[in-house]
Amino acid sequence: MAKKIEVFQDMRIQGPLEKRSDLRLALIAAAIAPWRFDLEKSDQVARNAGTSEDVLLFRCEASTNHPAAGLTLWGIPEGYYVPNIVPMQNGSLSFSQYNAVLQSFLVCVVQPIVEKFGFEVSITKPSQDIDDWLSLNAATKLRRFSGAANKSTGASHPMDKRRWFDFIIAVHRNGEDLGSDRLARWLHEIEGWDEETAHDLAGDFENALTLLTHYDEN
């Protein structure tokens, strides 16, 4: 059984605000084959999103590892981040294809220039586990629930339900952003829960967090 699950990687470019305009021009100039900068689409995306932030859209040619794709850099005060990568044709990118496009952009466009302007690049791991998303306390409580629970009945047994609630409360208290999709995948792919029960538990998790947040606010 896999110990980690494959995920879409996140990337941020962060550095001095006064150098961001210089970085912007350098990124555009660095986009040579198999990459190119799409000015018209960049302006269109910014208009449609109704944002004043800088939006840069780059196109990448197809390779043996991925189809032709578009990558967006979205401006933030300290630099840029990649909110999404999409295929140029219909359909969607697999985790490995998405990450291959991101790696190509990093190597071909970003890495050769960022240090010149005092910027640093942070990129998340392509394969992750629950410890990458949660504190030790919350991760331990989730593993305790999953290891002890009857996987055919979910959290219906009183003791299982107590352990399940302990996990949810720990996540809420820590303000952690796990996400129901990642939780469902972890339960199913790593812990061996059947897919339907994993999604049911993830839905219950999301509803419980919403209720706890509403309680705190009222």
How does pLDDT run along the chain (218 residues), one tens digit per residue? 457 899 999 999 999 999 999 999 999 999 999 999 999 989 888 888 887 788 999 999 999 999 999 999 999 988 999 999 999 988 899 999 999 999 999 999 999 999 999 999 999 999 999 999 999 999 999 999 999 998 877 888 889 999 999 999 999 999 998 989 999 999 999 999 999 999 999 999 999 999 999 999 98
Whether the CB-CB separation of 173 and 164 falls below 8 Å is answered with no
Quote the pLDDT of residue 2.
Answer: 52
Q: Which residue has the tokens 């981040």?
A: 81
* Tokens representing residue 123 in the block: 């990129």
Residue 214: partners with Cβ closer than 8 Å, 6 or more residues away: none
Quote the pLDDT of residue 157.
Answer: 86
Give the sign of the dihedral formed by CA 49, CA 44, CA 58, CA 120. negative
As a whole number of Å, the end-to-end CA separation of the chain is 43
Distance CA 136, CA 138 (A): 6
* Tokens representing residue 83 in the block: 């909110």
DSSP-derived letter for residue 124 is -
Quote the pLDDT of residue 150.
Answer: 85
Please state the φ and ψ torsions of residue 182, each to the nearest 5 degrees.
-65, -40
| β-bridge mates for residue 57, sequence order | 72
Quote the pLDDT of residue 1.
Answer: 45
Predicted TM-score (pTM) above 0.85: no
* Segment (H or E) for 35: strand 35-37
Quote the pLDDT of residue 155.
Answer: 81
* Tokens representing residue 192 in the block: 């061996």
Q: Which of 128, 147, 140, 201 is nearest to 171 (CA)?
A: 140
CB atoms within 10 A of CB 96: 12
- Cα–Cα distance list, 201 to 149, 151, 207 (Å): 12, 11, 10
Distance CA 3, CA 206 (A): 24
Distance CA 117, CA 25 (A): 11
